[in-house]
Amino acid sequence: MIDPGELHEGMTVRDVDGRKLGTVGNMGATQFELEQGSPARRDFVVHVHQVARVQERDVFLHPHPRVAVPPEEEELLRR
Q: What is the pLDDT of residues 37-66, one digit of tens each?
A: 777 677 889 999 999 999 999 999 988 755
What is the per-residue pLDDT for 8? 95
Residue 67, helix vs strand vs coil: coil
Q: Are 69 and 24 in contact (CB under 8 A)?
A: no
- Where does the pLDDT of residue 69 fall: very low under 50, low under 70, confident under 90, or very high at 90 and above? confident
Q: Which domains does the chain have, with CATH numbers?
A: 4-73 (2.30.30.240)
How far apart, in whole angstroms, are the C-alpha atoms of residue 32 and residue 25? 6
- Where does the pLDDT of residue 76 fall: very low under 50, low under 70, confident under 90, or very high at 90 and above? very low
- Where does the pLDDT of residue 68 fall: very low under 50, low under 70, confident under 90, or very high at 90 and above? low
Single pTM value for the model: 0.81
